[in-house]
Chain A
Amino acid sequence: EDKVVQSPLSLVVHEGDTVTLNCSYEVTNFRSLLWYKQEKKAPTFLFMLTSSGIEKKSGRLSSILDKKELFSILNITATQTGDSAVYLCAVNQFYFGTGTSLTVIP
């Protein structure tokens, strides 16, 4: 059975901190891993990773995939209150983890 596990389940940090969110997976025929941010209702797309070792970056957010060890991390540097959200990891489009709830305190 395909499985995606995210950790930690929740995290509370202060503004300016750096956080690392984890996503490990066990799926057959891996094709892609995607990160989404869900603030209230609709998740919004952050990154799509298909190749191992290549970092994707967008502003203060970055992500990298390790296909050998079957995991990905999402880093957020200099966190802001607007980063407070649930971060979802999805493998092969359809298989989502439970998400990591991030709260950034001013």
Chain B
Amino acid sequence: DGGITQSPKYLFRKEGQNVTLSCEQNLNHDAMYWYRQDPGQGLRLIYYSQIVNDFQKGDIAEGYSVSREKKESFPLTVTSAQKNPTAFYLCASSIVTIRPQHFGDGTRLSIL
């Protein structure tokens, strides 16, 4: 079955540590996205990529980095510069950016 796989489901980070969240899709979609969801808030866009080797910042990109070396994969690194990283992170993909998105099951990141 085609879909989006995010791993791990839960992740703990120590202060000053970088962590990488994995997102893989086998839907053959060109566009991929990372969102952050906090309690009582909607999804906020961190980064998106329309094609391999290209990505754009969203509204809250500070403290995060991404890469898009393969069509199937769009990992998100939460760096130590992100001062409040505790949140639920959702990855999504779509055929192209104007089409509806398919979402993964998310990664919940917490600070130790």
Binding site for B on A (CB under 8 A): 4, 6, 31-32, 34, 36, 41-45, 48, 88, 90, 93-99
Which bracket fits the contact residues of B? 20 to 34
* The 6 A-B residue pairs with the shortest CB-CB distance in the complex, in nearest-first order: A96-B42, A42-B103, A96-B43, A45-B100, A41-B105, A98-B42
Q: How far is the CA of A42 from the CA of B35 in the complex (A)?
A: 12
Q: Which of B43, B45, B48, B90 has the most CB of A within 10 A?
A: B43
Distance between B43 CB and nearest chain A CB, rounded to angstroms:
4
Q: How far is the CA of A67 from the CA of B16 in the complex (A)?
A: 47
Please tell me which one of the listed residues A44, A48, A95, A98 contacts residue B40 in the complex, with CB atoms under 8 A apart.
A98
Q: Could you list some 8 contacts between A and B, CB below 8 A?
A: A6-B42, A31-B98, A36-B103, A41-B90, A94-B33, A95-B45, A96-B44, A98-B40
Chain B residues whose CB sits within 8 angstroms of the CB of A44 once the complex forms: 103
Q: Which of B36-92 contact A (CB under 8 A)?
A: 40-45, 48, 58, 90
